[in-house]
């Protein structure tokens, strides 16, 4: 005997998946195994009332009404996306207990948007520093064509969405409750703006409240939908570290932004880096980490000085010279511990590069600004 009769749910995979999303919590292992084995529809109609799964879904069975759910979604302007759909984000398929379906509001084609995407997540109780970095990072990534995936929470999540929106970039909010339930309430406006140009999505049906368990389940979607996750600020106990762990478990790149060691909301980031996450300081470094091979961030280096490309003896002679007064070749040789011949050779090279001038019996240094770079362009000695 079947618990869910064919009369309770319309035919087809789509309706069956919607029913599963109503009957069990996100990430429920037993139902996921069954659906993976025989498909959503056969699994649903095959539930044995006497089995543990049967007893598990029984309390919710009375409220099951797939057709009502379809009507509600339509009235909210939310579409139902299932694995067979074009826009199903392939990253979700790596999960052991993937979502049965997604409710989505917003114009973005999910699969396309996730092709170049980064999760940007972090603490709710973020610092001003963290908020600024999240916004900058998200804006920089969005400008480079990356979709910013985050959870619309206060703090880092919100700043990440804002950063993407500020540069007219693409962003996806993965929420823990129903897509009709703006949470936190203070982010209702932000979520509306995300839904306008990007996407707000959830694996739980409209009307569902966000629970602690659903927040954790939501995190696994952010972690695997995108190519990598950046944690901007996180305490030692944090959902963001949980997201990062899921990302790493599924071979996604995990990046973390460092901060002052005295900041409690950077402690989680520092721990992640110590455990193997990539330290990143800007969008270019994130792209290098998550992007296709070959997208390298410019290696950071300081200003260039004229003597940078000189050989040691030339550099030693140069730094022994003064700008104001001349020094003799003999004094230079003593000071540098070099032969007269080597000192004269060095003075020749330095002269050709306009770094020194002769002055009476000795030589003086010519003061130059770093940007002039004559030595690096001309010295090939």
Q: Is 278 helix (H, G, I), strand (E, B) or coil?
A: strand
Kindly indicate which of the ranges 110-118, 172-180, 277-285, 346-354 contains the residues binding its own copies, using the contact rule CB under 8 A: 277-285
Min separation Cβ 36 and its own copies, Å = 18
Q: How far apart are CA 258 and CA 281, in angstroms?
A: 7
- Cβ proximity to its own copies: between 52 and 168 the closer is 52
CB atoms within 10 A of CB 237: 9
Give Cα 147 to chain centroid, integer Å.
9
Residue 87 binds to its own copies (criterion: CB under 8 A): no
Distance CA 244, CA 269 (A): 10
Question: How far apart, in whole angstroms, are the C-alpha atoms of residue 298 and residue 283?
Answer: 11
Tell me which of 124, 227, 270, 314 binds its own copies, using CB under 8 A.
Answer: 270
Give the total of residues touching its own copies (CB under 8 A).
Answer: 60
DSSP 3-state of 154:
coil
Exactly one of 11, 52, 84, 360 binds its own copies (CB under 8 A); that residue is 52
Q: Are 148 and 166 in contact (CB under 8 A)?
A: no
- Please tell me the distance from the alpha carbon of residue 95 to that of residue 135, in angstroms, as a whole number: 29
Whether the CB-CB separation of 46 and 31 falls below 8 Å is answered with no
The residues near 40 (Cβ < 8 Å, ≥ 6 apart) are: 13, 16, 17, 20, 100
Residue of 205, 235, 239, 362 interacting with its own copies (CB under 8 A)? 235
Binds its own copies by CB under 8 A, chosen from 5, 86, 212, 360? 212
Contact 94, 30 (CB under 8 A): no
Asked if 213 is part of the footprint of its own copies (rule: CB under 8 A), the reply reads yes
- If the CB atoms of residues 180 and 307 are measured against its own copies, the closer one turns out to be 307
DSSP code of residue 327: B
3-class secondary-structure state, position 84: coil
Give yes or no for residue 242 binding its own copies (CB under 8 A). no
Which residues in 59-78 contact its own copies (CB under 8 A)? 59-60, 63
Site string for its own copies, 332-361 (x = CB under 8 A): -xxxxxxxxxx-------------------
- Minimum distance between the CB of residue 60 and its own copies, rounded to whole angstroms? 5
Stretch that binds its own copies, among 70-78, 183-191, 259-267, 358-366 (CB under 8 A): 259-267
Residues that bind its own copies in the complex, under the rule CB under 8 A: 23-25, 28, 52, 55-60, 63, 129, 132-133, 211-213, 235-238, 257-262, 266-267, 270-271, 273-274, 278-279, 281-282, 285, 299-303, 312, 315-316, 319-320, 330, 333-342
């Amino acid at each position: 005997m079947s618990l869910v009769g064919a009369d309770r749910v319309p035919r087809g995979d789509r309706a069956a998946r919607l029913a599963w999303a109503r009957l069990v919590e996100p990430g429920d292992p037993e139902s996921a195994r069954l659906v993976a084995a025989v498909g959503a529809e056969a699994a649903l109609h095959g539930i044995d009332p006497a089995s543990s799964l049967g007893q598990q879904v029984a309390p919710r069975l009375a409220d099951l009404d797939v057709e009502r759910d379809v009507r509600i979604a339509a009235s909210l302007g939310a579409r139902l996306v299932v694995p067979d759909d074009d826009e199903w984000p392939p990253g979700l398929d790596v999960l052991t207990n993937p979502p049965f379906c997604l409710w989505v509001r917003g114009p973005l084609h999910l699969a396309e948007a996730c092709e170049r995407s980064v999760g940007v997540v972090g603490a709710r109780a973020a610092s001003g520093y963290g908020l600024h970095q999240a916004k900058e990072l998200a804006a920089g990534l969005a400008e480079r064509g990356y979709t910013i995936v985050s959870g619309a929470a206060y703090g880092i999540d919100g700043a990440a969405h804002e950063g993407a929106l500020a540069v007219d970039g693409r962003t996806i909010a993965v929420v823990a409750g129903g897509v009709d339930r703006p949470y936190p309430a203070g982010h209702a406006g932000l979520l509306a703006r995300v839904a306008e140009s990007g996407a707000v999505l959830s694996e739980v049906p409209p009307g569902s409240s966000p629970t602690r368990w659903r927040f954790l389940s939501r995190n696994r979607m952010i972690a695997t939908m995108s190519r990598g996750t950046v944690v901007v600020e996180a305490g030692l106990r944090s959902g963001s570290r949980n997201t990062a762990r899921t990302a790493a478990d599924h071979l996604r790149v995990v990046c973390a932004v460092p901060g002052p060691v005295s900041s409690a909301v950077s402690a989680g980031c520092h721990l992640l880096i110590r455990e193997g996450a990539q330290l990143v300081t800007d969008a270019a470094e994130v792209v290098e980490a998550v992007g296709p091979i070959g997208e390298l961030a410019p290696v950071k280096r300081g200003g260039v000085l004229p003597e940078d490309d000189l050989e040691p003896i030339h550099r030693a002679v140069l730094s022994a010279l003064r700008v104001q007064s001349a020094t003799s070749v003999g004094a230079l040789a003593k000071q540098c511990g070099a032969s007269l011949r080597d000192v004269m050779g060095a003075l020749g090279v330095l002269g050709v590069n306009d770094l020194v001038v002769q002055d009476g019996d000795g030589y003086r240094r010519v003061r130059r600004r770093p940007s002039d770079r004559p030595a690096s362009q001309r010295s090939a000695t």
